[in-house]
Chains A and B, each alone.
Chain A
Amino acid sequence: MSESAPSAAETRRLAQEARDRIRFEEEALGLSDQVYRVARRLAGSREEAEDLVQQTYERAFRSWRQYTPGTNLRAWLLRILTNLNIDRGRRQQRTPQTTSIDNEAGDYFLYNKLESQVPDENPDEERVLERLSQDSIVDALADVPHDFRDVIVLVDIGEFSYADAAQILDIPIGTVMSRLHRGRRILKKNLADKAAV
């Protein structure tokens, strides 16, 4: 027998590893729609989002052994994607934390503003919501400063928990909550500004 022939145990180990790897790749690919949906709003353009997702999967497939089975794979993939996004230097044009909101408005502000634009007396909520076009929502979100937008995209669009968002962005959970609170207000302010008059 040649000395390079693997032992039976080694053969079994390699076969198991191949199966684990295939399972990992299948699971990761099954999440690609959700990963793209989040990436599209974290990145500035469609092209950038596509590059990011592709690089994320390249890296994930290379380092699949670092993933702990049974943990949140979607969050693991998004963590890679967020790091790649930072590596691309998009953080260099980081917006200062102290973005000021004119007249720091309360949470009813958007509704009050939109309702006043509807001609009917006491309109229902759907009629009020119709004041917002799809384009105006996309633009309003894009105009939210990065630090706040990342959290909104992960929690409100990607439906990640605060804990997952904290892990993905490598920030404390309290920061996730405060940025989310503030970010939603900025988003609503932007929506109010863009609502059709």
Chain B
Amino acid sequence: MLDDCDRCEEMMQPFLDGTLSDEEVALAQRHLDKCSWCAKRYHFEERLRHYVRVAVSEPMPPELKAKLAALRTPL
């Protein structure tokens, strides 16, 4: 199983990016269906990407929004 898990680890980023071929996706999926160790790590990676996106998102200060709106061509 070790080689399969190594291969599965290598495919994780492209798998989640949707850049694998159909054949590779099927290969990874077959492994994930029977290996909870890898499945857990794939799921974690997916959650991590979302978590990072939310954690580093900072709303735009309202003053800046007003400054930008003031740049519009006057009607």
Contact = CB atoms under 8 A, between A and B. Distances in A.
A184 B75 CA distance: 46
Interface residues of B, number: 33
Chain B interface SS verdict (over half):
helix
B40 A61 contact: no
A133 to B, nearest CB: 9
B13 A107 contact: yes
Nearest to A60: B71
Contacts of A187: 52
A132 B72 contact: no
B68 A141 contact: no
Nearest to B54: A134
A54 B59 CA distance: 15
B43 to A, nearest CB: 5
A132 B65 CA distance: 31
B69 interface: yes
B15 to A, nearest CB: 10
Interface stretch (A3-11, A21-29, A68-76, A82-90): A21-29
B19 to A, nearest CB: 8
Among A106, A108, A129, max chain B CB count under 10 A is at A108
A114 B9 CA distance: 17
Interface string B55-74: 11111110011011101110
Interface string A50-72: 10011001100100000000000
8 closest A-B pairs by CB: A36-B60, A137-B55, A125-B44, A134-B55, A107-B12, A111-B44, A108-B41, A111-B41
28 contacts: A22-B72, A29-B68, A29-B72, A32-B64, A33-B59, A36-B60, A37-B57, A40-B58, A50-B61, A53-B60, A54-B64, A54-B71, A61-B72, A107-B10, A107-B13, A108-B41, A111-B44, A111-B45, A125-B40, A126-B47, A128-B44, A137-B56, A138-B56, A156-B52, A157-B52, A157-B53, A157-B56, A177-B19
Given A37-B60, A54-B64, A156-B49, 13 more contacts: A25-B73, A32-B60, A32-B64, A33-B60, A46-B61, A50-B61, A50-B64, A61-B73, A107-B45, A111-B41, A137-B56, A141-B52, A157-B56
Interface of A: 18, 21-22, 25, 29, 32-33, 36-37, 40-41, 46, 50, 53-54, 57-58, 61, 106-108, 110-111, 125-126, 128-129, 132, 134, 137-138, 141, 156-157, 159, 177, 180-181, 184, 187
